[in-house]
Structure 1
Amino acid sequence: MHSLIDLFAYKVYKEKILPKSDILKMKYAMNVIWNEIIKFALLMIIFGLLNKLNLFLFCTTLLLPIRIFSGGVHFKRRIPCFIGSLSCFALAILIFPSILNMTVKMAVILMLISIIIVYIYSPISSSFRPILNEKRKRVLNYLSVFFTLICVFILFKFALLYNKAFFECGIWTISLQAFQLIIGKELR
């Protein structure tokens, strides 16, 4: 049975709307987007059932601009990808905040280390979409650091003052993202 994405790509191919190489890129992008939507919906359900949906959405909002430009660990299959994402969010939202008491000093140290790691290791690209252009790598690196700094600013300026749980989960989210850059570099 063909997926809707395959059927759509076949229609584009038959009508000669795009060259074959662009159709393959389009199919890849559509599959990635579809898989991310499914993964996000499942994670929302899980964290909703755990009554942690607001923390999950906050952490996702912090993570997205950093992850888009810095990359990280990429899995070739959907299930390991989902398990990896679930594990990172579970660590940041459920496990670390419950076993470690986050102090401002600890948060500052974690954020300084994270910013340094993001600067040194990003971007980590997927093997499906390698970054070959050095100028593009530099731009992605600067954008990764920029968005990390913005998220750190938001955490210290707003979350720390208004909601300690959001602050802690945000610190752990950024720290785990930075840590996975090291792992992503080692796995390449």
Structure 2
Amino acid sequence: MIKLISTFITRYLEENNSSLIKTDLLKIQYTLEVILGNLFDFVVILLIFLGLNKVPILLLSYVILISIRPFMGGVHCKTFISCLFVTTMYFIMVMLFTTLAPKLNNSFNIIFFTISFIIVAAYAPCRNLKRPVKNKATLKIISLISLTFWIVVFFTLPNVQICNCIFASIFIQILQIIIINTKGVLSNAKIYKHFFSYTS
């Protein structure tokens, strides 16, 4: 459905704007697919969290996500349905950890965020087959600034749920960076058929 709508709009632009070349049209279609897909995902997930009465957690997690993922990169699913499923599971896992986990040990937190900072400094931004990484140095710097901001917030605020939400969101993001950078190593393993075949 998303692809049909984006294709329809792109063809309309092609027919009514002769200055657009094929590369421009491909970029427009990809951008439309991303925007429409993300919008639909968000609406579906918002309805789920409305039913669970956990909208504040969703909104906080979403803010964290959009402040780090566009710069660090992450796992991309190959189909819209798999993307919706993975995104929904992402927010549900963050919600469960946010509401159920106790306050974590401070020493553990320091170790975790230190390792996270090193991983981001070494491997972000992640490559994306559909959208090649440009300005890698700039994206890396922004990634580190964004991560640092959330680390400062984490150690400043006393609210356990907010801290758990920050921790879980960053943990899943760092996990994606690790997965992408070990994809080649694991390409011959069984996990490839069950996970990597649905992502890019």
TM over 0.5: yes
**What's the TM-score bracket when you normalise by the shorter of the two chains?**
0.7 to 0.9
CA distance in 1, matches of 2:112, 2:86: 21
TM-score (norm 1): 0.87
Aligned residues: 182
Q: Deviations over 1:30-67 (max 9, x none)?
A: 01110011111111111221121101110111121110
| Counterpart for residue 183 of structure 1 | 179
Runs of 4+ in 1 over 4 A off after TM superposition: none
* Structure 2 unaligned regions, length at least 5: 185-200
CA distance in 2, matches of 1:102, 1:143: 27
| Counterpart for residue 49 of structure 2 | 47
* Structure 1 unaligned regions, length at least 5: none
Please tell me whether residue 5 in structure 1 is matched to residue 9 in structure 2.
no
Please tell me whether residue 146 in structure 1 is matched to residue 145 in structure 2.
yes
Residue 79 of structure 1 and its aligned partner are, at CA, apart by 1.8
Residue 127 of structure 1 and its aligned partner are, at CA, apart by 1.2
| Counterpart for residue 193 of structure 2 | none
CA 1:125–1:40: 2 relative to 1, 3 Å: farther
CA 1:96–1:53: 2 relative to 1, 3 Å: closer
| Counterpart for residue 70 of structure 1 | 72
Match of 1:33 among 32, 35, 59: 35
Residue 99 of structure 1 and its aligned partner are, at CA, apart by 4.6
Within 5 Å, give how 1:48-127 maps onto structure 2: 48-95=50-97, 98-99=100-101, 101-127=103-129
TM-score (norm 2): 0.82
Residue 98 of structure 1 and its aligned partner are, at CA, apart by 1.9
The one-letter code of the counterpart of 1:179 is: L
Residue 172 of structure 1 and its aligned partner are, at CA, apart by 1.3
Residue 70 of structure 1 and its aligned partner are, at CA, apart by 0.4
Residue 154 of structure 1 and its aligned partner are, at CA, apart by 2.1
